[in-house]
Amino acid sequence: MPRFFAAAAVSASFVCLAASAQTSPPLTPAETAAGWKYLFDGSNTDAWRGYKQPAFPSQGWAIDGGALKVGKGGGDIITKQQYEDFELSLEFKCAPKANSGIIYRVAEKHDATWQTGPEFQVLDDANYGAKPDDAHACGALYDLDRPPADKPMKPAGEWNSARIRIKDGLLQHYLNGVKVVECRMDGPDWKAKIAASKFKEYEGFGLQPKGHIALQEHGDEVWFRNIRIRDLKAPMPNEMTLFNGKDFDGWNYFLENNGKMTDVWSVDNGVIVCKGKPTGYLRTKQRFISYVLKLEWRFSPVTRQAGNSGVLLRLQAPDKVWPKSIEAQLQSGSAGDFWCIDEYKMKGDPARTNGRNTKHLHANERPIGEWNEYEIIVNDTNVTLNVNGDTLNTATECVVLPGFIGLQSEGAEIHFRNLRLSPIK
């Protein structure tokens, strides 16, 4: 919950920052390939400084058992680096009745971080007396958007996880793995939210295109740990562009009945356009084994007709309909499903598997005609499907074979863009 901070505030219980070895789990090769980095790994505060200060606060903040603990005094801290589109992941623990916040896209133009940056509220709801779905409760977009009443919340003294994701104007808050806020940060609805809030008094609030990330000091004891971030505007490490936006250099195709590539596939202003007929696929010339693959897709924004397609992973020769592979489904309403094609060895969740198909956990697609993002992590024997920021499926015991990546033509017009791959080493 925002408040002003007195520059001369002194903590009676000041604890000096203590040096310690990293206590956060090391990033896995897959996490590194996806672009994750630590902002705080339990060992130092090098990524942070005080708000409007050149250095880290000399009071109020301490490294405590691998966590970053805040008490009374010291003020807010901010990242030295600024971020536009990003995904932030961390854990937090509150003392009874404690209050704090994670604030983002902060500009150092007013007296406090919360006067420019929106806030993921951190609060011990139960002891504070806040209703779970209050606009000031834990996980809320403070004073702007409410979390659901059935959100998963752990009590004071226990660790909760928080995740904040901003991509192309869409803001998402996650609490303990469940999405609790989703709204756009552009357009008239966002400005209306601000105009109806306490933040209308502060010029530029919520309108910064990029800014610092802040952790709030509110005079209460709160712990933060395993603070990680990935910059969604930056390329992934060792990123390869699979589609150059101009032509199909690096790609082959297969179509039924000896169909011609130009009958189905074309490029329009940096977008791959697939007419959907005849049936077949476009595939890379290069084989890959373990990687993070990102791409965007939409069905026709003109007809807005639902359709079917898929991304074929570890695709094996010979070319045919359909080749041995793992399919990441793109059928409308089923994005995030797995299909095992031609007896490709893999294992899905038994509770959601019926024959060759493993259903996704829940729907997370945009309206037909709008762009969606797939992040597919093919990591040794495991494959994970993330749709628009949510993990919707995981397969295990997948046979490890070098294979092509394919895009299906399966009856409906579908578009693809921004195909990128980061190898997992």
pLDDT at residue 13 greater than cutoff 60: no
Q: Which band of pLDDT confidence, cut at 50, 70 and 90, is reported for residue 2?
A: very low
Q: Which band of pLDDT confidence, cut at 50, 70 and 90, is reported for residue 20?
A: very low
Contacts of 8 (CB under 8 A, 6+ apart): none
Q: Which band of pLDDT confidence, cut at 50, 70 and 90, is reported for residue 23?
A: confident
pLDDT tens digit sequence for 177-218: 999 999 999 999 999 999 999 999 999 999 999 999 999 999
pLDDT at residue 5 greater than cutoff 50: no
Q: Which CATH superfamily is domain 29-231 in?
A: Exo-inulinase; domain 1 (2.60.120.560)
Whole-angstrom distance, CA of residue 273 vs CA of residue 296? 12
Q: What is the mean pLDDT of residues 225-254?
A: 97
pLDDT score recorded for residue 21: 65
Q: What is the mean pLDDT of residues 42-48?
A: 96
pLDDT score recorded for residue 380: 98
pLDDT tens digit sequence for 328-345: 999 999 999 999 999 999
Q: Which band of pLDDT confidence, cut at 50, 70 and 90, is reported for residue 264?
A: very high
The chain-wide mean pLDDT, for the chain, equals 94
Q: Which band of pLDDT confidence, cut at 50, 70 and 90, is reported for residue 322?
A: very high
Q: What is the mean pLDDT of residues 408-418?
A: 97
- What percent of the chain has a predicted confidence (pLDDT) above 90? 94
Domain map (residue ranges) of the chain: 29-231, 240-423
Whole-angstrom distance, CA of residue 348 vs CA of residue 394? 7
pLDDT score recorded for residue 11: 35
Q: Which band of pLDDT confidence, cut at 50, 70 and 90, is reported for residue 68?
A: very high
pLDDT score recorded for residue 22: 74
Q: What is the mean pLDDT of residues 159-175?
A: 97
pLDDT tens digit sequence for 102-120: 999 999 999 999 999 999 9
Whole-angstrom distance, CA of residue 64 vs CA of residue 15? 9
29-231 and 240-423 agree in CATH topology = yes
Contacts of 318 (CB under 8 A, 6+ apart): none
Question: In the CATH scheme, what is the code of domain 240-423?
Answer: 2.60.120.560
> The dihedral of CA 75, 79, 83, 87: what is its sign?
negative
